[in-house]
Structure 1
Amino acid sequence: MKLVVRVKLLPTPEQAAALEATLRACNEAANWLSVRAFEHGRTSRSALQVLAYAALKARGLSAQPALHVLRKVADAYTALKANLKAGNLGKRGSKRNARAAGKPVVFQSDAAQPFDDRCLSWQMDGSTVSIWTTSGRMKGLIFTGQAEQLALLAACRKGESDLLLKDGRWYLVATCEIPEAALNTAPEGFVGVDLGIVNIATTSTGARYSGRHLNRQRDADRRLREKLQKKGTKAAKRRAKRHAGKEARRVSDINHKISKCIVAEAQRTGRGIALEDLTGIRERVRLRKPQRVTLHSWSFRQLGTFIAYKARRAGVPVVYVDAAYTSRECSRCHHVDRRNRPSQAVFACQACGFVEHADLNSSHNIAARGWWTWVRGAESQASVLTLTA
Structure 2
Amino acid sequence: MKLAVQVKLLPTPEQASALEATLRACNRAATYASHVAFGKKVKDRSGLQKEAYADLKATFGLSAQPAVRVVKKVVDAYATLKASLQAGRLGPATSKRYRRAVGRPVAFRPQAAQPFDDRCLSWQYDAHTVSIWTVDGRMKGLRFACSPDQLKTLVEHRKGESDLVQRGGTWFLVATCDIPEPEVYEPVDWVGVDRGIVNLATTSDGTNYQGRRLGRYRRWQARKRTELQKRNTRSATRRLARREQKEKRHATHVNHRISKEIVSVAQRTGRGVAVEELGGIRERVRLRRDQRGILSSWPFHQLGQHLAYKAKKAGVPFLEVDAHHTSQHCPRCGHTERANRPGRDHFHCRRCGLAGPADVVAGVNVRDRARSAWVLVTAPAPSP
The verdict on a shared fold, with TM-score over 0.5 as the criterion, is yes
> Who is 1:108 aligned against?
109
Distance (Å, rounded) in 2 between the aligned partners of 1:107 and 1:337: 53
Distance (Å, rounded) in 1 between the aligned partners of 2:122 and 2:272: 40
Residues 1:244 and 1:94: Cα distance change in structure 2 (over 3 Å)? closer
Distance (Å, rounded) in 1 between the aligned partners of 2:287 and 2:177: 42
**Cα deviations across residues 194-245 of structure 1 (Å, max 9, x unaligned)?**
0001100001111110111110111011111111111234554454354331
> How does 1:306-345 map onto structure 2 within 5 Å?
306-345=306-345
User: CA shift at 1:92, angstroms?
Assistant: 1.6
> How does 1:56-95 map onto structure 2 within 5 Å?
56-59=56-59, 60-95=61-96
User: CA shift at 1:106, angstroms?
Assistant: 0.6
What residue identity is the alignment partner of 2:355? V
Distance (Å, rounded) in 2 between the aligned partners of 1:253 and 1:7: 16
Distance (Å, rounded) in 2 between the aligned partners of 1:240 and 1:40: 39
Provide the identity percentage: 56
> Who is 2:14 aligned against?
14
> Who is 2:134 aligned against?
133
> Who is 1:192 aligned against?
192
Distance (Å, rounded) in 1 between the aligned partners of 2:170 and 2:92: 38
Distance (Å, rounded) in 2 between the aligned partners of 1:37 and 1:242: 33
> Who is 1:383 aligned against?
381
Distance (Å, rounded) in 1 between the aligned partners of 2:223 and 2:282: 23
User: CA shift at 1:54, angstroms?
Assistant: 2.1
Distance (Å, rounded) in 2 between the aligned partners of 1:178 and 1:156: 6
> Who is 1:146 aligned against?
147
User: CA shift at 1:296, angstroms?
Assistant: 0.4
Residues 1:322 and 1:222: Cα distance change in structure 2 (over 3 Å)? same
**Cα deviations across residues 44-66 of structure 1 (Å, max 9, x unaligned)?**
11221222222222222111111
**Cα deviations across residues 76-121 of structure 1 (Å, max 9, x unaligned)?**
0011011111110011211111111111101000000000111001
What residue identity is the alignment partner of 2:301? R
> Who is 2:274 aligned against?
274
User: CA shift at 1:180, angstroms?
Assistant: 2.2
**Cα deviations across residues 220-279 of structure 1 (Å, max 9, x unaligned)?**
111111111112345544543543312111111111111011101111111111111111
Residues 1:91 and 1:161: Cα distance change in structure 2 (over 3 Å)? same
Distance (Å, rounded) in 2 between the aligned partners of 1:277 and 1:34: 38
Distance (Å, rounded) in 1 between the aligned partners of 2:181 and 2:377: 22
Count of paired positions: 383
> Who is 2:30 aligned against?
30
Distance (Å, rounded) in 2 between the aligned partners of 1:319 and 1:356: 25
Distance (Å, rounded) in 1 between the aligned partners of 2:180 and 2:76: 27
**Cα deviations across residues 327-349 of structure 1 (Å, max 9, x unaligned)?**
11111111111111111000111
What residue identity is the alignment partner of 2:381? S
Residues 1:237 and 1:39: Cα distance change in structure 2 (over 3 Å)? closer
Residues 1:90 and 1:198: Cα distance change in structure 2 (over 3 Å)? same
User: CA shift at 1:146, angstroms?
Assistant: 2.0
User: CA shift at 1:360, angstroms?
Assistant: 0.5
1:93 is paired with a residue whose SS is: coil
Distance (Å, rounded) in 2 between the aligned partners of 1:287 and 1:294: 10
What residue identity is the alignment partner of 1:35? H
> How does 1:162-241 map onto structure 2 within 5 Å?
162-184=163-185, 186-233=186-233, 236-237=236-237, 239-241=239-241
Q: Does 1:40 align with 2:22?
A: no
1:244 is paired with a residue whose SS is: helix
Distance (Å, rounded) in 2 between the aligned partners of 1:239 and 1:76: 28
2:320 is paired with a residue whose SS is: strand
> Who is 2:262 aligned against?
262
Residues 1:354 and 1:245: Cα distance change in structure 2 (over 3 Å)? same
Distance (Å, rounded) in 1 between the aligned partners of 2:235 and 2:79: 40
1:324 is paired with a residue whose SS is: coil
Residues 1:242 and 1:108: Cα distance change in structure 2 (over 3 Å)? closer
2:261 is paired with a residue whose SS is: helix
> Who is 2:369 aligned against?
369
What residue identity is the alignment partner of 2:292? R
Residues 1:100 and 1:237: Cα distance change in structure 2 (over 3 Å)? closer
Q: What is the aligned-residue RMSD (CA, Å)?
A: 1.3
Distance (Å, rounded) in 2 between the aligned partners of 1:246 and 1:189: 38
Distance (Å, rounded) in 2 between the aligned partners of 1:239 and 1:161: 29
What is the TM-score when the length of structure 1 is the normalising length?
A: 0.96
Distance (Å, rounded) in 2 between the aligned partners of 1:73 and 1:236: 32
1:383 is paired with a residue whose SS is: coil
**Cα deviations across residues 304-334 of structure 1 (Å, max 9, x unaligned)?**
1111111111111101111111111111111
1:370 is paired with a residue whose SS is: helix
What are the ranges of 5 or more consecutive residues in structure 1 without an aligned counterpart? Answer: none
Residues 1:15 and 1:33: Cα distance change in structure 2 (over 3 Å)? same
